[in-house]
Structure 1
């Protein structure tokens, strides 16, 4: 008996190929979405570790870093290193911390390596997994090697008054003041006060160093590095970015002025570390809420989204 076999038509072959292509596209999209979700979760965990280290430092020293207000002629690390560097012992980087203390006794300029090897040493929990650029030291235009961070401390909202008048160098956020702020100074509540947020360095690498203090005068890099306000008034003194509108919104790495506001490489928003140690993902467009959350004693009644 002869069997009649019907050949596949061209149209049927095209339909099959189209279905296979659609399935592959959906699979690749799902894989990409899963990778992005994992990167966001890993980034959130980085901030949790930073928050735990800051709490440990606070418990040991009675306040957030820096613990003293030294003049710039001293060799005290509190003067020359950022809070990221000052919590190195609390994140398990004791050897690098000891090296940094010795470096400060030799050379007060923490931009110089040697002896400041921390300037070019990447710290894994200080970089978001979404930003592969920061896994290793970056070569600057000057030829100098430098290590960067995806995170930056919050110095408060510069649109609101500083209510703490005990010393003239106290801002209304949690960073930027010398000496550092105590949790007792946070009248708005730990769960309603921002401590650290995301801000990837621009491709120009004009900002984002994790090691040197943000208080260093006449630094060879534009910054900001260690802390940032909401909004940042630094653009008033930056000819390149003067007048730039600083909103909490998605930006581009090839925009050098993106360094003046909080944002991330995650889709739709960024992770934020609060003073109680919690980390929350907040969608873009919450500028008014962020300005309220940026202050430690502004007295605002706000419900964070």
Structure 2
């Protein structure tokens, strides 16, 4: 290539000035700021959907239990007893609803662990079950299915320092309690005394054998299982009195909730409520309300601001009062 005399070919390379670079960085920062909430929203939506699926599968498990045994899962004996693989599904079963639906959430082997073993071997097996977390029993928006501090020891299992827990509770009704006592003494094979007539009017409670035919208020108007309130402060400590033992135990407020007025209103998880009846209500980490499965196994969100009368009626299976859910 020939060049004209006296001229030189100059090659210049384009480059960003400092001002241009700062502008680009600012634009990227704005875009990230706009995108991050959308990503967080999408993640929370996915977690909420998973929570709904958990409840739907739990509700279907209640149905399958009814199909197989003629009643919804019994609530077992009390807080001192874990599920017994040789206890069957009726009055002689000390474990509560979580233990009893295991065969219907693809956990038959877990429920049968220790079956037919001698006393010592069964105690070890039951302790092993207590230390088995399940994804279906925890809302992913709240905490992971892992082992958490265990403060209450079972009379029919080896002692454990950590155990599996759940963020869900079964509906024991609208009566003003969600547990009675720890159950019989160690070594007993005799079920405890039943509750008083009409005290628990929900779906699962101590020694319960509730049938579909007993749900006189309609399956779409009666709560079956849902999210329970938890103290954020004690998610990792086990010190919450309604979350201090394993999820395979019997009838107690770790696994059961009532819709009585003393537990109203349901609450979003927070740090300032750690004890007393206010801690024994329904609730969740979700904004707006808590998820429930009704007796027809449909899943919906119940607003934290639900009317007190509707809240109470939602827990009773047969008070013959109307329920108005928006």
In which range does the TM-score fall when normalised by the shorter chain?
Answer: 0.7 to 0.9
- Matched residues in 1 for 2:95 and 2:77: separation? 12
Asked whether 1:266 is paired with 2:295, we answer no
Report deviation, 1:19.
3.4
Aligned-partner SS, 2:169:
strand
Asked whether 1:123 is paired with 2:134, we answer yes
Distance 1:31 1:276, change over 3 A: same
Cα deviation code 1:144-183 (max 9, x no counterpart): 11100010011111269xxxxx973751111214232111
Root-mean-square deviation (CA), in Å? 3.5
Counterpart contact for 2:266–2:281, Cα < 8 Å: yes
Aligned-partner SS, 1:37:
helix
User: Which consecutive residues of structure 2, in runs of 5 or more, have no partner in the other structure?
Assistant: 1-8, 153-159, 178-194
Counterpart contact for 2:228–2:257, Cα < 8 Å: no
Which position in structure 1 is the counterpart of 2:149?
139
Cα deviation code 1:174-221 (max 9, x no counterpart): 121423211101110001100011025431423343100016xxxxxx
- Matched residues in 2 for 1:115 and 1:6: separation? 70
Report deviation, 1:6.
12
Which position in structure 2 is the counterpart of 1:237?
none
Distance 1:28 1:159, change over 3 A: same
Larger Rg over CA atoms: 2
Report deviation, 1:276.
0.5
TM-score (norm: length of structure 2): 0.72
Asked whether 1:89 is paired with 2:113, we answer no
Aligned-partner SS, 1:286:
coil
Distance 1:115 1:159, change over 3 A: closer
Equivalent of residue 22 in structure 1, options 15, 30, 40: 30
Equivalent of residue 191 in structure 1, options 197, 202, 220: 220
Which aligned pairs between 1:104-253 and structure 2 lie closer than 5 A? 106=119, 115-133=126-144, 135-140=145-150, 144-158=161-175, 168=197, 171-199=200-228, 201-202=230-231, 203=234, 204-205=237-238, 206=240, 207-208=242-243, 209-214=246-251, 224-231=253-260, 246-252=264-270
TM-score (norm: length of structure 1): 0.76
Counterpart contact for 1:170–1:177, Cα < 8 Å: no
Report deviation, 1:7.
8.3
Q: How many residue pairs end up in the alignment? A: 273
